[in-house]
Amino acid sequence: MLLETGKSRTRGENNDARLRLVQGRHNPLIKDLRRAFARGEATDDGFCGIEGLRILEEAIRSGVKFRAVFFSESAQVKARRLLSQLGARTETLLLPDKLFSSIVPSDTPQGVAALARWPQFSLDDVLGKASFGPLLVVAGVQDPGNLGTIMRSAEAFGAIGLILGEGTVSPFNPKVVRASAGSIFRLPVVRAKLSGTIPRMRESGLHLMATSSHKGTPLQKARFELPLALFLGAEGAGLMRELLAEMDEIIAIPHAPKVESLNAGVAASIVLYEMARQSDRLGGSGNNLP
């Protein structure tokens, strides 16, 4: 027992030694983290600002690459927990609480943040997998919580990826990352102009479908056969008429007439579940999706 206690103390001391105290706001890494959070976009070298203990753990589990990981002084217990999971070459910085809080977007920061980069994909990457699961096309969804929810449900129900069209919130927005609960690190996501993307989908033989709040094939009667692409429109306004005119089929989710429309994230989740159920990709327990 004494020997084990000694080992634990040594391990903790080694972790503490990895933390580099930085008190100045003009440090280049701090500037990059602040800029990434403020813009909701990746830095010039492709790193995104992410925040929160659970998100950091999901990023580590998903094999995400880190440029630097930041901890507030009051979060040193969390730091010790994460340092043992981070590669020895990952730079780790310790910031005063006030400085840390001035950088991150959260009103109640958990004291953990990072500059992280995960794999990026091309349109060819997702079209090449269209026979293995539905492809989601998001057009004009501006609420980061909705987009993060769509990503989470897409991974849960076996979608092979997302295409984000014009007017859609950035996938690097910290609120999108948080709402995705880590799915963004593993799910292929592509940003593209839809006018040039639809012809490519047709060349690949995809059946183009869209959701509607009012008219269309009732969800329970729809048949989802791969390869297909499901188009999701903006909150409230739905899919633009120009895009609706390109669809092969419109799917309507039945709901009470007093409700004008469903939340974009909820609508996507309902349709994705039905797709998975029909294809038997739920596997009974729901754990056998690809």
- Domain boundary (117, 150, 180) is at 117
Query: Residue 82 sits in which domain range?
Result: 15-117
Question: Which residues have C-beta within 8 Å of that of residue 242, sequence separation ≥ 6?
Answer: none
Give the residue ranges of the chain where pLDDT is below 70. 1-17, 236, 281-290
Question: Is 288 within the bounds of a domain?
Answer: no
Q: What pLDDT, on a 0 to 100 scale, did the predictor assign at position 7?
A: 40
pLDDT tens-place string over residues 227-248 = 999 999 887 677 888 899 999 9
H or E stretch covering 32: helix 28-39
Question: Is 286 within the bounds of a domain?
Answer: no
Question: Is 4 within the bounds of a domain?
Answer: no
Question: Is 3 within the bounds of a domain?
Answer: no
Q: What pLDDT, on a 0 to 100 scale, did the predictor assign at position 1?
A: 32
Total domains present in the chain = 2
Say if residue 257 is in the same domain as residue 127.
yes
Q: What pLDDT, on a 0 to 100 scale, did the predictor assign at position 245?
A: 92
H or E stretch covering 6: helix 2-18
Q: What pLDDT, on a 0 to 100 scale, did the predictor assign at position 160?
A: 96
The CATH number assigned to the domain holding 34 equals: 3.30.1330.30
